[in-house]
Amino acid sequence: MLSYLRLELQVSPIAPRAGETLSAPLLRRVLGLALIERFCPFGEPRCQAPQPGGGAAPPPLELCDLANLCPYGILFAASRTRRPPFALFVPSPGSIEITLFDFACGSYAWVLTAFADALSRGLGKDRRPWSLREVWRTTPSGERERLCGESLKELPSTLLPSELTLAAGTYIAPEPVEVLFRSPTRLLLQGKLVKGRESVPFEALIARILDRFKDLFGVSAGDVLDARLRSELEAEAARVPLLVNETDWIEVKDYSARTGAELLLGGKVGRLIYGPEAARFFPILRAGEILHVGKNPTAGCGRMEVRLPVA
State the average pLDDT for the chain. 89
Residue 8 in this model has a pLDDT that exceeds 70: yes
Give the SS3 label for residue 230.
helix
The full set of domain ranges for the chain reads: 3-163, 177-307
Q: What pLDDT shows up at residue 292?
A: 96
pLDDT tens digits, residue range 128-171? Answer: 899 999 999 999 888 999 999 988 889 999 999 999 877 766 65
Question: What's the rounded mean pLDDT across residues 66-77?
Answer: 95
Q: 132 near 119, Cβ under 8 Å? A: yes
- Distance CA(116)–CA(112), nearest Å, equals 6
Q: What pLDDT shows up at residue 255?
A: 65
251 pLDDT tier (thresholds 50, 70, 90): confident
Cis peptide before 161 (omega within 30 of 0): no
Q: What pLDDT shows up at residue 51?
A: 66
Q: What pLDDT shows up at residue 76?
A: 95
Instruction: Identify which of 178, 216, 198, 191 has the alpha carbon closest to the alpha carbon of residue 267.
Output: 198
Q: What pLDDT shows up at residue 107?
A: 95
Residue bearing the bigger pLDDT, 51 or 120: 120
Q: What pLDDT shows up at residue 269?
A: 95
Residue bearing the bigger pLDDT, 223 or 138: 138
Please provide the CATH number assigned to the domain covering 177-307.
Answer: 3.30.70.1900
Residue 311 in this model has a pLDDT that exceeds 60: no
Could you give the angle at the alpha carbon of 205 between the alpha carbons of 201 and 206, nearest 5°? 115
Q: Which of 92-106, 122-136, 237-251 has the lowest mean pLDDT?
A: 122-136
